[in-house]
């Protein structure tokens, strides 16, 4: 089943305690689509400026990502600059330049209208809503966001959240959005707005998923080398939604497996800067890490 994503395609400059990169390929939709491309067909909606290097488009096309919905506008590509300390869970945003996203109005090409699964990656919530209105055939919709939009566009964001099946955000964002420090209470408040499922990303501490009265927890893969956490959340979402779309099922058991595939993809991503950790993975490598997750969390019921 095909999977549609709207989000940012960006040029990132990132500093971590282990190195620094300037104007490298980034963006929420880029990480998402690359991770999802290992599981299913992906269609991408975004905008880039005339400074966007052709080699990045070639890379995405090479992964089979459909770029008919990627506009090229006059002006500069979206740029994000961030820094991490040894506490790698939290990025400090130093600069966000919306550039061509400021005037972007997403319009889905006709070939995108039949996509069954939709992911509204981190982007202006008003643009997320515009895509949601156009994607009539989408039978399951998930959404991400970040503090930038919670602070700047909270009303529009809550409107978007009301129309989705699943929200995927990190723990700090969940607390900020719900205005509630306790994560369980924050989850209850967010679920009361409409989504049936909430996934809270907790960086190196893994994932908490809330669905009706149930909670599912998954660890992050314990890694020796974590170079750059940028895009870990989007990569998680790409593996997660990619698996759901591949299986074309959203029952609780499939969703739990999808959480693990998302965690597997995110674990590869943080091992290198930019998208280098997920550019060229083998099915075997993905399968072996999934198996390692399974063994790591096996225990007998009481």
- Interface residues with ligand AMP (CB under 6 A) are 8, 10, 12, 26-28, 80, 96, 122-123, 146, 148, 230-234
Question: Nearer Cβ to ligand AMP, position 12 or 66?
Answer: 12
Q: Which residue's Cβ lies closest to ligand AMP?
A: 26
Q: How far is the CB of 28 from ligand AMP (least distance, A)?
A: 4
Cβ nearer to ligand AMP, comparing 72 with 249: 72
Q: Which is nearer to ligand AMP, 178 or 275 (CB)?
A: 275
Comparison of 169 and 209: residue with beta carbon closer to ligand AMP: 169
Which CB, 93 or 214, lies closer to ligand AMP?
Answer: 93
Structure token pair of residue 173: 């964002």
- In terms of Cα–Cα distance, which of 250, 295, 299, 242 is closest to 266? 242
The C-alpha atoms of residue 205 and residue 220 are separated, in whole angstroms, by 6
Q: Least distance (Å) from ligand AMP to the CB of residue 100?
A: 12
Provide Rg for the chain, Cα atoms: 18
Query: Which H/E stretch holds residue 31?
Result: helix 28-36
- Alpha-carbon span 33 to 96, nearest angstrom: 21
**What is the spatial distance between Cα 198 and Cα 164, in angstroms, rounded to a whole number?**
10
DSSP E strands, the chain: 3-6, 10-16, 19-26, 42-48, 66-72, 78-83, 92-97, 117-120, 140-144, 166-170, 197-201, 207-211, 214-218
Question: Strand, helix or coil at 62?
Answer: helix
Least distance in angstroms from the C-beta of 8 to ligand AMP: 4
Q: Minimum distance from CB of 282 to ligand AMP (Å)? A: 24
In the complex with ligand AMP, the residue whose CB is nearer, 26 or 69, is 26
Minimum CB–partner distance for residue 245 and ligand AMP (Å): 19
Cβ 120 to ligand AMP shortest distance, Å: 11
Concatenating the DSSP letter of every residue in 198-240 gives EEEE-GGG-EEEEETTEEEEEPPP--S-----TTHHHHHHHHH
């Amino acid at each position: 089943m095909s999977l549609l994503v709207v989000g940012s395609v960006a040029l990132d400059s990132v500093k971590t305690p282990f190195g620094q990169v300037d104007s490298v390929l980034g963006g929420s939709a880029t990480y998402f689509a690359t991770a999802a491309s290992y599981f299913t067909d992906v269609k991408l909606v975004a905008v880039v400026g005339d400074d966007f290097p052709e080699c990045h488009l070639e890379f995405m096309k090479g992964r089979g990502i459909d770029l008919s919905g990627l506009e090229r506008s006059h002006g500069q590509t979206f740029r994000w600059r961030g820094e991490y300390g040894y506490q790698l869970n939290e990025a400090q945003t130093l600069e966000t330049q919306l550039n061509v996203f400021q005037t972007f109005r997403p319009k889905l090409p006709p070939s995108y209208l039949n996509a069954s699964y939709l992911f509204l990656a981190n982007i202006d919530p008003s643009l997320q809503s515009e895509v949601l209105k156009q994607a009539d055939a989408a039978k399951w919709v998930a959404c991400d966001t970040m503090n930038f939009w919670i602070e700047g566009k909270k009303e529009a964001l809550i409107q978007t959240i009301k129309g989705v099946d699943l929200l995927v955000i990190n723990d700090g964002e969940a607390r900020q959005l719900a205005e509630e420090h306790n994560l369980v209470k924050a989850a209850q408040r967010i679920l009361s707005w409409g989504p049936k499922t909430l996934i809270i990303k907790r960086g190196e501490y893994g994932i908490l998923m809330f669905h009706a009265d149930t909670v599912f927890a998954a660890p992050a893969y314990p890694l020796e080398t974590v170079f750059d956490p940028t895009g870990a959340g989007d990569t998680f979402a790409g593996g997660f939604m990619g698996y759901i779309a591949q299986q074309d099922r959203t029952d609780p058991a499939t969703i739990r497996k999808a959480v693990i595939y998302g965690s597997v993809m995110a674990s590869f991503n943080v091992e290198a800067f930019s998208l280098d950790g997920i550019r060229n993975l083998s099915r075997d490598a993905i399968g072996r890490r999934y198996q390692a997750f399974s063994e790591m969390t096996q225990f007998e019921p009481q």
